[in-house]
Structure 1
């Protein structure tokens, strides 16, 4: 049992009804999870309002309610804590409840539209190879040193984050690398955490289904850097025009990385092949197994972060040369017929453009590039024609198909994508609603040395439609179809 007073440390209280001198078992923001002697935090969400479930939480045993509006009829024996913002209160309470675990390790947050997963995951790999105990909170998975947990959100809720960080403390973890999404920042999930550093990768068109404007999306990302302490570092991509905006109000020590402009950490691409990249990182040559300009940025961010965290430079370079690509991020297989199939999570216009430009930079132009791509349902609709335009302009052939249609009609999503195709590219395109059939068709169309790109879902092992998830793994499916062609 924990003291309510201790849990409320640093929470700004507007009013208290009842006593704070009570012991509580746990904190919950979902009324269905409430047990006897719990604290219920009523959060106003975009879909539901936790204030509607206060009575239910009390019936199930909650003895403390944290809320933005105290009910008219309060119940005897229940403590009501009125706060200005329940999500902010929850984040601070969660950190207190688990003993502020972020203060007992070096936590680095990675934010940006593209590259978050790759940078966080490769930093985890790098520090593991260097012999440290390391944690990872990412879209793909959560790692508590060697123990793997399934991830459900890019940035989990604040209770879950602190719960995992506490596990990391218990396991003696020294470093943790964490993806920080705009949703997570906006919903205060990272509040109350002590960061050793923050990395900004880039900013492009995404999540405008959630954020009303691009400026709002940018400013939410900026807030993460605004909240970094003086003791932290802020590392930004100097080639991205939004990078300098991230640094405007930060108290953290400022560092930049870039390929094109002057920066603290510079990279130059000497060779770019399907087998990897030869890079010059601040006058040090290193061969890496990752591919493309976008990965040159990712590697540079990793190199810079390793140095800022105290890793010796030569050891860091040696370990960077051993890093392996992240699941669903430019993950490729080459068939016996020399057909290259690439699976990538590219689900934004900028990410798709990066991947296709990388393929076109490497190929000899004698091969076809066949792209299979769709867009997720119930998400930002404005990017759909842009995805259609980029895919058709930068590929030899395109098959538009379903991604995760969710509650939308797949055919309608595909029609919205096709709007962006320019007349001269019409003849390049096909539409096949069934994603498995679309991948099969791409394999059948491919000739020796051709390149198939399957974009949008990457590491995901499911497809979501009409409220149900079914097993679906792009990489497994394309490998199976290429194997069939070899018979």
Structure 2
């Protein structure tokens, strides 16, 4: 029987979705968490599939076309996709970025730095995909293996030379980035997240550690060594390690000299000569940088992105000029003003990102702080309990009024908050004696915040999909006659309570 590689020579395409099969396609049947691809093999055959690939042939229906049995269908999909598209990552300078927080900002920073350096640049990330001549919204942080290889092949076709890619823990575990060659890796930071998928924090950490297996011995791994979990994973890496930290011992460090609401100034110190990918050596030295983004965490993001650019041969001066012109990514510490209020919109979705946002608020000037937080839907009870505990921890350091919402009218089934998730979040707040107000709708939560707000106050909108429409809803509500900010807040303020709908 022909091997998978031999079938590739005849194939017109490859997919694991039966509805995408066209005549001559290879259909890879994957046993998923919800559905079993083997059950759709007959449909794939009817649509003209060339061959079926499965790691569970006993689950297949009777078929007349060839079946190839493999040990792992997901790995086979990744290998087949790479072969079909000609292993495009082998011909790209591709930086893989993993970690709990900062991936999106770092990827976009790298895209901006490479572009400003005159390079044709690509991006695969949470917010969008850029194939060099075409940019469009993405649906997953790390797409499926076929899409990854397709995007990389499109980049090559469009003469992209340098690209950045976010690599999620699920993407690693599900082999979406198997057979992708990275020219450098970045490990940002680690905290509890995606516990619904991985089951435990330990399993999540182990999935992140598998990122090391994707890097060759000559591929540099850039690590935020100040993070204890990153430090532990870095200790398992046998390849070329470059450590980074703010105000802590590392190969390359950043020292913050100025931190304000709208940006920072910092000095990057290269403590030992650094070998770049072009064979040149960057001597030890100090390089002043500025960044038009708030927060210590964004300095950390800039440091990691800057090091990745250094190892690809870019000059520190080029990197510094690019970072100075970089602007915030969608829903990452976005600051705007409305009716006398300062609003910060951030996708903070786990304890680490919640803590980072509140730390950044230390440089803000305001009268009172009002926080509207969206519960994470379809992500499990553990992460929601952890996020509630993180908010309680911040409340003990800093007074603020807290409004919790499920954003019922804004999210679809994939992101809707379950009764168990809502209970986990609110019970944690109750147990920790944290006052709050709950409202099911996002519009209700923001309307309540506006009713309580006065000019000079700071309104913080945080959360993932449930808060994506927060700014739009806020802008719409602020134009209505009931907005108290329009007449300087001459409205009674209802008492805040822990009662939940």
TM-score by length of 1: 0.88
SS at match of 2:228: coil
CA change 1:423–1:45 in 2 (3 A) is closer
- The equivalent of 2:350 in structure 1 is 348
Does residue 330 of structure 1 match 2:317? no
Does residue 196 of structure 1 match 2:183? yes
Question: Displacement, 1:412?
Answer: 5.5
Does residue 399 of structure 1 match 2:395? no
Question: Displacement, 1:165?
Answer: 0.7
- The equivalent of 2:384 in structure 1 is 384
Listed one character per residue, the Cα deviations across residues 41-71 of structure 1 (whole Å, up to 9, x for unaligned) are 1111111111222222222221211111335
CA RMSD of aligned residues (A): 2.3
Does residue 478 of structure 1 match 2:481? no
| Separation in structure 2 between the aligned mates of residue 40 and residue 73 of structure 1, nearest angstrom | 14
Question: Displacement, 1:147?
Answer: 1.8
Does residue 8 of structure 1 match 2:9? no
- The equivalent of 1:420 in structure 2 is 428
Contact 1:335 1:483 in 2 (8 A): no
Q: Aligned to 1:314, which of 314, 317, 330?
A: 317
Question: Displacement, 1:73?
Answer: 7.8
Does residue 450 of structure 1 match 2:437? no
| Separation in structure 1 between the aligned mates of residue 56 and residue 421 of structure 2, nearest angstrom | 40
| Separation in structure 1 between the aligned mates of residue 91 and residue 384 of structure 2, nearest angstrom | 44
- The equivalent of 2:260 in structure 1 is 273
* Number of positions where the alignment pairs a residue of Structure 1 with one of Structure 2: 457
Contact 1:226 1:249 in 2 (8 A): no
| Range moving further from structure 2, 285-294 or 48-57 | 48-57
Contact 1:411 1:433 in 2 (8 A): no
Question: Displacement, 1:146?
Answer: 4.3
Question: Displacement, 1:228?
Answer: 0.6
SS at match of 2:305: helix
| Separation in structure 2 between the aligned mates of residue 136 and residue 450 of structure 1, nearest angstrom | 37
Question: Displacement, 1:405?
Answer: 7.5
SS at match of 2:378: coil
- The equivalent of 1:37 in structure 2 is 24
Contact 2:185 2:220 in 1 (8 A): yes
CA change 1:46–1:412 in 2 (3 A) is closer
| Separation in structure 2 between the aligned mates of residue 128 and residue 97 of structure 1, nearest angstrom | 29
Contact 1:136 1:144 in 2 (8 A): yes
Does residue 362 of structure 1 match 2:363? yes
Question: Displacement, 1:259?
Answer: 1.2
CA change 1:347–1:395 in 2 (3 A) is farther
| Separation in structure 2 between the aligned mates of residue 297 and residue 422 of structure 1, nearest angstrom | 34
CA change 1:55–1:216 in 2 (3 A) is same
Listed one character per residue, the Cα deviations across residues 249-287 of structure 1 (whole Å, up to 9, x for unaligned) are 434311011114211111122222112112122132222
TM-score by length of 2: 0.86
- The equivalent of 2:205 in structure 1 is 218
| Separation in structure 2 between the aligned mates of residue 21 and residue 115 of structure 1, nearest angstrom | 37
- The equivalent of 2:497 in structure 1 is none
| Separation in structure 1 between the aligned mates of residue 161 and residue 233 of structure 2, nearest angstrom | 27
| Separation in structure 2 between the aligned mates of residue 254 and residue 111 of structure 1, nearest angstrom | 15
- The equivalent of 1:373 in structure 2 is 373
CA change 1:120–1:29 in 2 (3 A) is same
SS at match of 1:193: coil
Does residue 302 of structure 1 match 2:305? yes
| Separation in structure 1 between the aligned mates of residue 258 and residue 454 of structure 2, nearest angstrom | 26
| Stretches of structure 1 lacking an aligned partner (at least 5 in a row) | 10-19, 464-471
Question: Displacement, 1:395?
Answer: 4.6
Question: Displacement, 1:483?
Answer: 5.1
| Range moving further from structure 2, 53-62 or 127-136 | 53-62
After superposition, residues 41-56 of structure 1 pair within 5 angstroms as 41-56=28-43
Contact 1:229 1:251 in 2 (8 A): no
Question: Displacement, 1:348?
Answer: 0.8
Listed one character per residue, the Cα deviations across residues 206-233 of structure 1 (whole Å, up to 9, x for unaligned) are 0110002211111111111123112311
- The equivalent of 1:101 in structure 2 is 88
| Separation in structure 2 between the aligned mates of residue 479 and residue 308 of structure 1, nearest angstrom | 43
| Separation in structure 2 between the aligned mates of residue 319 and residue 431 of structure 1, nearest angstrom | 43
Q: Aligned to 1:437, which of 421, 426, 444?
A: 444
| Separation in structure 2 between the aligned mates of residue 301 and residue 412 of structure 1, nearest angstrom | 38
| Range moving further from structure 2, 212-221 or 55-64 | 55-64
